[in-house]
Structure 1
Amino acid sequence: MTGVPPTTTAPERDPAGVPVRGLTVLYDDRTAVGLHLCAWLARRPRLVPLELLPAGSAAAHARFPGLGGDPLHEITVVGDSGQVYRGSRAWIVLLWALREHRPLAHRLADPAGAKEARGAFLAAAKWRGPQWHGTPWGGHVHQRADGWSYHPVTGWTYAPPSRAGTGPATR
C-alpha cells in the first residue's frame, strides 16, 4: 500500500517495498462499535485477507506481546510484514483492504483526508449507534469490584470476584 506509512514496524523487519498480503485487526470486543466493526468487516468482500482478533484476548497477547499502545481504546491493524497501523492510518488501511472501498482509502491517504478517515469508515460501515464518547463510561465495559459489570450492548452481568485460596463465591 502506498500513501499511508505504518506508524511503527517490528524491529526485525523492513516493510518498505514489501507487499501487504494479510492484516490482523485488533478490535475491542467489549464495545458496541468494536462488535459492529467486526461483524461488518466479516461480511465485506476483501482484496487483502483480514483476521479479526479481540485485542484483549490471550491470542492477541501471545501473538503481539510487545505491541504497546492501547489496542483496546484505539483500533490497531498489524500487517503480515510487521507494519503496525493505529488511529486514522488503521481506518485507512482497513478501507484499502476492502474491494468496494479501496478508492476511498486512496482519497483519504493524504493528511487532509486522514483527519476524516475514522468517520468515513464508520459511515461506510453504516454505524449509527452511540459513539465511544457518547455513552456512559466512554462505551466501554464498566466493572465494579463486587463482580457486577455493565456492557453498553448486553447490559448488567455478574461474575463472582476471584478470591485466591478460597472456595467459590456465593451470592
Structure 2
Amino acid sequence: MGTPVRGLTVLYDAQCSLCVHLRSWLLRQRQLVPLDMVPAESAEARRRYPRLDHAATLREITVIGDRGQVYTGPAAWIICLWALAEYRPKAHWLATPAGLPFVRVTMLAAARYREATAAGGAVASPCDDRCSVPG
C-alpha cells in the first residue's frame, strides 16, 4: 500500500484568466487534502521543485504530492477533485475507464478556450502560445 497524500501543490498559470479562475474555485471548496497554489514557473515553484520541467508546467496542469508524487494531465485534474470533499466520489469515477473520456474532453475544452483567448478570441486573456491542446 502506498503512502497517503497529506498535501498537494497545484502549479497554475498565473497569467491565464481560466487558470486563475479555477485556482479561486478550488480554494473556495472544502478540502479533505490541503491544496497549496503556486504560480507555475515562479521563483517559489523553482525553489520547491528544482528538478521539474518548469516550462512544461505552463502548458499542462501539474500537481505535486507531499511525498514527491507528480501528477500531470488527466491525473492532475482528478487528484485536484479527489482532494475536495464534495468531489471525491466523482474523482473516483473519473479515474475509471468509463470516466477518463470525460476528463479528456474537459481538458480539451479548457485547452481550446485558452488557445482561443490567446489568439485574440472574444474573451480577453493574457495567455500566449504556451496554452496547448493535450494529446
Q: With structure 2 as the length reference, what TM-score do the two structures score?
A: 0.79
* Equivalent position to 1:63, from 48, 73, 82: 48
Q: Distance in 2 between matches of 1:120 and 1:46?
A: 22
Contact 1:96–1:103 (CA under 8 A) maintained in structure 2: yes
Where do 4+ consecutive residues of structure 1 move more than 2 Å?
Answer: 118-121, 136-139
Give the secondary structure class of the aligned counterpart of 2:86: helix
- Which of the pair has more CA radius of gyration? 1
Letter in 2 for 1:48: V
Larger relative helix fraction: 2
Q: How many residues align?
A: 121
Alignment gaps of 5+ in structure 1 = 1-15, 122-126, 140-151, 155-171
RMSD over aligned CA atoms reads 2.5
Question: 1:1-171 counterparts in 2 under 5 A?
Answer: 17-68=2-53, 70-117=56-103, 131-137=113-119, 152-153=124-125
Letter in 1 for 2:69: Q
Residue 136 of structure 1 deviates from its aligned partner by 3.2
Q: With structure 1 as the length reference, what TM-score do the two structures score?
A: 0.63
Q: Distance in 2 between matches of 1:136 and 1:153?
A: 6
Larger relative strand fraction: 1
Alignment gaps of 5+ in structure 2 = 127-135
Letter in 1 for 2:114: W
Residue 118 of structure 1 deviates from its aligned partner by 5.6
